[in-house]
Structure 1
């Protein structure tokens, strides 16, 4: 992936529908090996069609960034201060370094704020991805989906090389 092929920018309200579509597509592409079909369906909020309303609610609380390729949103990340809340890349765009770029942006933002450690809660599918990016597994923990279904996830952290924030 070259810098000319992908760019990152803050998400806009008009991105919510496509972000929802990416969320659904990414989860639909997962095999039912680590989670059941029922759990995967609940994870995508029982949706087969995009609905940006949940994402719009999240955008009020979280910082959301999107990855753009040829003027098309192909992935997004959301975070609050030192915690990466969500990271999704459309299945057709996976394996191109987009998720890595979004995580790096999150880490860079945290570093600029003087944060020396970040955390995330990784699905069992994403655990290896985060390990390759320098995260460490802390513990397996239950994650409560909006539906009330509980799925296992891995709490992870990464120590950052901090640069003191200028005063």
Structure 2
């Protein structure tokens, strides 16, 4: 499986939105109530994704020219890492995180923060991220994790 990671552009917004919505509904739906899921989904319409592309460094993962994953770097924070449900557990998230970490090091970032969902905690832990604290936003529970980066 050859996955290509590249920087996202505005033309990717609809596909990014579709990946995120599917992942949130199918994967995170087991760990959060429907009200939280729908609130998160509402934040990732194609129009909102275009706005985020102007604020963050967003990457996409492609398999056979199809966007199957996305992740972003926002300062020293990893944001919105999502993989299409049918492509999860195939190394795509790990490949995206390698790209985010490499880019972070190139920008002089020494420690990355990740606001993780309950669903993704074990994924980030396998990559060396450690829990700092929990954060609550209404019914949404987020795990704040971090990882010191090792220079290349």
Structures share fold, TM-score greater than 0.5: yes
1:62 aligned onto 2:56: yes
User: d(CA) in 1 for partners of 2:35 and 2:10?
Assistant: 30
How far residue 34 of structure 1 moved from its aligned partner, in angstroms, is 2.3
In the alignment, the residues of structure 1 paired with residue 7 and residue 30 of structure 2 have an alpha-carbon distance, to the nearest angstrom, of: 34
Check if 1:53 corresponds to 2:42: no
1:28 and 1:34 mapped to 2: Cα distance?
10
Please give the TM-score of this superposition, normalised by the length of structure 1: 0.85
Q: Which residue of 2 aligns with 1:16?
A: 13
**Cα distance in 2 for residues equivalent to 1:6 and 1:159:** 26
Q: CA deviation at 1:116?
A: 1.2
- Is structure 2 residue 82 aligned with structure 1 residue 82? no
Partner SS, residue 42 of structure 2: coil
CA displacement at 1:96 relative to structure 2: 0.7
Identify which of 6, 13, 29 aligns with 2:3: 6
Aligned alpha-carbon RMSD (Å): 1.6
Q: Distance in 2 between matches of 1:14 and 1:33?
A: 31
TM-score, scaled relative to structure 2: 0.93
Q: Which structure is higher in helix share?
A: 2
Q: In the alignment, is residue 122 of structure 1 matched against residue 113 of structure 2?
A: no
Pairs aligned (count): 152
Q: Which runs of 4+ in 1 moved over 3 A?
A: none
Which residues of structure 1 form unaligned runs of 5+? 144-148
Q: After superposition, what is the alpha-carbon deviation per residue over 1:119-143, rounded to whole angstroms, capped at 9, x for unaligned?
A: 0100011111100100000001124
Gap runs ≥5 in structure 2: none
Instruction: Please say if residues 28 and 37 of structure 2, whose CA atoms lie closer than 8 Å, have aligned partners that are also in contact.
Output: no
- CA distance in 2 between counterparts of 1:95 and 1:120 reads 19
**CA positional deviation for 1:80:** 1.5
